[in-house]
Amino acid sequence: RKETMSILIERYKDKVSTLSASPDNQLRKYEDFWYFHGFWHHSKANFTVEAVMAVQDDFQALPTDIFLASHPKTGTTWLKALAFAIVNRSQFKTGIASCPTHPLLTISPHDCVPFIETESFLNNPSYANGLLATHIPYTSLPKSIITSDCRIVYICRNPKDVLISLWHFLNKVRDDSSPMKLVDLFEIFSKGMSPCGSFWDHVIGYYKANLERPDKVLFLKYEDLKKDPKNVVKRLAKFLGNPFTEEEESDGSVEKIIELCGFETLHKVNKVSSEQVYFRKGVVGDSGSYLTTEMIETLDKITKEKFDGLSISF
Ligand code: A3P
């Protein structure tokens, strides 16, 4: 079914008009989370509140579907690449030298695993391998994802690095006006008003789902993937239903997948396309070069309070 941006805006205009607006009027609050709305991001319905409403109304998950979920800028692109490479490894030899035709060496991870709340997916809901992605918070996911008992892999990341990554990203993709000041984004991010935020509530939703349904919801951290990629990738493969065999573990298959999906490789592949915005630096703790001591203290305090009693640390 053809859904265009204008149709979506028209379809949900009454519902959207009742939502509260952020002080800068950029975001709308829907089911306790904030979203862009209307004509955002190159005139596509990507991640807007209208797109979320449309997938809630129309999307039917299959029990075999696996969702890669995240708050924006937490390592979504990396997770998509890893999951795609793992699930398809019998089809493509994953060694970079041995398989120059691997899709990840020519197209973006976002073309391999589509987001459901985008105009392109709403227009053409076709996908291979049962892998899909979403930034929608757990409590707002289309009902069929939960009722079909779909597996979900969630990735999260330290909020200070998320803020800095988001700041760079928004300044690259916003096609209007002058660059956004970090202090302004810091103000709204720390109040929970980030796209698909609050960041902390987003994490908590999936964290609790992981505690309740550990066999269906896997909870990963960007920092763990950086620190110990081999172990995390093995856990991921097992959860995806494609565990590495003993032979694969000893013949270097895990390492090959890590190299194929590594920042260096993907950054090079996507350098000359519009996808380059998804590969900036890929470093843990980069926020230390941008945030003031006061900003760091504020964010650490919020994180401590929000995650009190939960074992989430970065
Ligand atoms: P930085 O802006 O800190 O560099 P998302 O994919 O959720 O949009 O997150 C983007 C962040 O992940 C960016 O962080 C980006 O550089 C980083 N990233 C993208 N691909 C990566 C990879 N293969 N390995 C590690 N980090 C990666």
**pLDDT tens digit string along 225-264?**
999 999 999 999 999 999 999 999 999 999 999 999 999 9
Q: State yes or no: pLDDT of 97 exceeds 80.
A: no
- CB neighbour class for 199 (10 Å; exposed up to 12, middle 13-18, buried from 19): buried
135 belongs to the catalytic site:
yes
Between the CA of 139 and the centroid of ligand 1 the distance, in Å, is 25
Give the model's confidence band at 14: pLDDT under 50 very low, under 70 low, under 90 confident, else very high.
Answer: very high
- What is the atom index within ligand 1 of the atom nearest the CA of 155? 7
Nearest-atom number in ligand 1 for the CA of 74 is 7
Alpha carbon nearest to ligand 1 atom 27, residue: 282
- Sequence-ordered list of residues with C-beta below 8 angstroms from that of 135, at least 6 positions apart, any chain: 47, 69, 70, 71, 72, 76, 115, 117, 195, 196
* Cα of 277 from ligand 1 centre, angstroms: 9
Give distance in angstroms: CA of 306 to centre of ligand 1: 24
Ligand 1, residues 73, 185, 276: which to mutate, most atoms within 8 A of Cβ? 73
- Ligand 1 residue neighbourhood (C-beta within 6 Å): 70, 72-78, 161, 165, 168, 261-263, 266, 278-282, 286
* Mean pLDDT for the chain overall: 93
pLDDT of residue 154 exceeding 70: yes
Catalytic position from the list 37, 41, 135, 202 = 135
Residue with tokens 């120059």: 100
Pocket test for ligand 1, best of 96, 182, 259, 279 (most atoms within 8 A of CB): 279
What is the distance in A from the centroid of ligand 1 to the CA of 278? Answer: 6
Give the nearest ligand 1 atom to 265 CA. Answer: 23
Report residue 1's pLDDT band, with 50, 70 and 90 as the boundaries.
very low
| Residue 129 predicted with pLDDT over 90 | no
Q: Is the model's pTM score more than 0.90?
A: yes
Contact between 152 and 69 under an 8 Å Cβ cutoff? The reply is yes
Question: Which atom of ligand 1 is least distant from the CA of 226?
Answer: 25
In this predicted structure, the answer to whether residue 126 has a pLDDT above a threshold of 70 is yes
How far does the centroid of ligand 1 lie from the alpha carbon of residue 115, in Å? 16
Q: With pLDDT > 70 as the criterion, what percentage of the chain qualifies?
A: 94
